[in-house]
Amino acid sequence: MNFPAIRVIFRQEMARFFRTFIESLISPVISTSLYFVVFGAAIGGKIDLIEGVTYGAFIVPGLIMLTVMTQSVSNASFAINFPKFIGTIYELLSAPVNYLEIVIGYVGAAAAKSILIGLVILATAFFFVDVPILHPFAMLAFLVMTSISFSLFGFIIGIWAKDFQQLQLIPLLILTPLIFLGGTFYSIDMLPGIWRTLALFNPVVYLVSGFRWSFFGTADVPVVFSLLAIAVFAGACLVLVWWIFKTGWRIRQ
């Protein structure tokens, strides 16, 4: 394992993150704060307790997951797509660095950024609502696993996209609807029968539910299903990444 190469890629990506500090960190925090103001304060005061939790506190895990998923995909997709766009990807592929080290460097940096943003948003939430964390280690585990799996997904999107317009296509048309329909702002138990059944086919439901369980001890689906969903999604992404580098699809073709 070429650890110096991984460290160089990781540091380069993190340096770019801190160079654009306002766009990378402050902007998501401001956006999430607006969610707290609108949903938590304005609307939350008119909603009864959900599973024994105030609505303002209930949406905190969902908001963190929303930001972590979107930021993981955005950071990883841009990180690998930009070298493709300017042509430096070929220098990286010709260097004594194997594919695994490239993936670890880019995906690790994207996941680290998302985890940092998620923790900052969690800290911001305490200024608005009282949020209990019953299982802090499980919360961190879900945060890390979600960041890594969606960073892998973003890495795939970055390789697939031929231009910056395509880079936004899947996040806007597929990921965003799945997140907003995945129990981010509500419990799927609040949905009528058929709609709750349909919601169970949304993979985001399992991620949000497991993460919310780590806060309040309640979940829409069994926690083991949430862990299984993350494992299957991450495994599928890893297989697809392996196939991409093996065939050179959208990299050498």
List all residues 6 or more positions away from 82 whose beta carbon is below 8 Å from its beta carbon.
Answer: none
pLDDT confidence tier of residue 114, bands split at 50, 70 and 90:
very high
Does the pTM surpass 0.85? The reply is yes
pLDDT of residue 118: 93
pLDDT of 43 > 80? The answer is no
pLDDT tens track for 155-183: 999 999 988 888 989 999 999 999 989 98
Among candidates 64, 103, 41, which has minimal Cα distance to 207?
Answer: 64
pLDDT of 128 > 90? The answer is no
pLDDT of 68 > 90? The answer is yes
pLDDT of residue 23: 73
Question: Taking the domains of the chain in order of start, what are their residue ranges?
Answer: 3-247
